[in-house]
Copies of this chain bind each other. A is one copy, B any other.
C-alpha cells in the first residue's frame, strides 16, 4: 500500500479532463492538481519556454509527498517531459506516451492521425513515439489552434466549430487513418464534433483515459494503490486567481470543485 497522493499538472484547467479519468478509475486515490493558469497557454509558446514552465510546475508538485506525477498537458508531455523526467527521482508519466501506446494497439490499418497544439505537432513527439511502438505506422498530424478557444469561449457545439473542424481534419480524413489521437486536454470536449466530421469508423483516442489506465495498472502491479480515502482527497493549486478556475473547472471535471484551492506564486519554483 502507498497512501501518498498522485500529482497532476497542466497549463491550466484542461488537465481536469485527465483528472476526471483518474478519479473515475481510482476513486480512493488522493490527487494534488496544479494548473498554471497565470501562464496559460503552453501550446503556442516555444520549446524553451515550455520546458522552463514545466520544470517549475514539477518543482512545485515535488514539494508534496507524491507517489507519481502525471503530465496532463499534451504540450508539456510532448516537449518537456522527455527532457526533464530523468532529472527527478519521482516517476512521471505523460499523456503523449500513454496515448501513443494505445493508438498503436488500436489501429488496424496502421494509419494514425494526431491533432494537438502548434507546439505539440511541431515537436514531432507523437510521430516518434508511434514509430517506436511500430515502425510500420504512418502518422498524419495537424495542429488545431482554434480548438482550445472554441471550447473555452463556448463554441464547442456550434456550426462554427463544425466548419473549423472540417477545415482542420481534411488531411486526416484524406489519409484514411482509422485512429485519431485527441492530443490536447480540451479536445475530448469537442468529441462529438470531431467524430461527426471524421465519421463513425475512426476510433478517437483520449490520452487522459490512456494515462489513467496506465497509472492504475502500474500502481496495482507494484502494490501501490491506496487503501484509505483522505478527508481532503482533492487539492487544487493555480498560478492565477482561483475564482475563474472554480467557475469553469466543474465543466472540465464534470464534478464540482469543492476541494481546497489555493494560489501559488509559481515564479518561486523556477
Q: In chain A between 190 and 206, which residues have their CB closer than 8 angstroms to a CB of chain B? A: none
The answer to whether A153 and B145 touch across the interface, beta carbons within 8 angstroms, is yes
Cα distance, A67 to B149, chains bound together (Å): 38
Q: Which residues on B sit within 8 Å (CB–CB) of A159?
A: 163
Asked if A254 is at the interface (CB within 8 A of a chain B CB), the reply is: no
The answer to whether B240 and A46 touch across the interface, beta carbons within 8 angstroms, is yes
A1–chain B nearest beta-carbon distance, Å: 40
Contact among B40, B46, B153, B243 for A243, CB-based, below 8 A: B46
The answer to whether A48 and B241 touch across the interface, beta carbons within 8 angstroms, is yes
* Contact mask for chain A residues 149-188; partner B; CB cutoff 8 A; 1 contact, 0 none: 1101101000110011000000000000000000000000
Contact among B40, B47, B149 for A146, CB-based, below 8 A: B149
**Chain A: interface residue count, which band?**
20 to 34
Cα distance, A37 to B240, chains bound together (Å): 17
A46–chain B nearest beta-carbon distance, Å: 3
The answer to whether B146 and A155 touch across the interface, beta carbons within 8 angstroms, is yes
Q: Which of A45, A47, A243 has the most CB of B within 10 A?
A: A45
The answer to whether B146 and A153 touch across the interface, beta carbons within 8 angstroms, is yes
Cα distance, A164 to B160, chains bound together (Å): 8
The answer to whether A45 and B152 touch across the interface, beta carbons within 8 angstroms, is no
Q: Which residues on B sit within 8 Å (CB–CB) of A244?
A: 46
Asked if A270 is at the interface (CB within 8 A of a chain B CB), the reply is: yes
Asked if A49 is at the interface (CB within 8 A of a chain B CB), the reply is: yes
Cα distance, A248 to B164, chains bound together (Å): 21
Asked if A82 is at the interface (CB within 8 A of a chain B CB), the reply is: no
The answer to whether A45 and B270 touch across the interface, beta carbons within 8 angstroms, is no
Contact among B46, B155, B164, B241 for A46, CB-based, below 8 A: B241
Contact among B45, B150, B163, B240 for A38, CB-based, below 8 A: B45
Q: Which residues on B sit within 8 Å (CB–CB) of A49?
A: 38, 240-241
Q: Which residues on B sit within 8 Å (CB–CB) of A267?
A: 267, 270
List, sorted by A's number, 15 A–B pairs whose CB atoms are closer than 8 Å. Answer: A38-B39, A38-B49, A39-B39, A45-B240, A45-B241, A46-B240, A47-B241, A48-B240, A48-B241, A49-B240, A145-B149, A145-B153, A155-B164, A160-B160, A160-B163
If A145-B152, A149-B149 are given as contacts, then 7 extra A-B residue pairs at C-beta distance below 8 Å, sorted by A number, are A40-B44, A44-B152, A46-B240, A145-B149, A145-B153, A160-B163, A267-B270
Question: Which residues from chain A sit less than 8 Å from chain B, CB to CB?
Answer: 37-40, 44-49, 145-146, 149-150, 152-153, 155, 159-160, 163-164, 240-241, 243-244, 267, 270
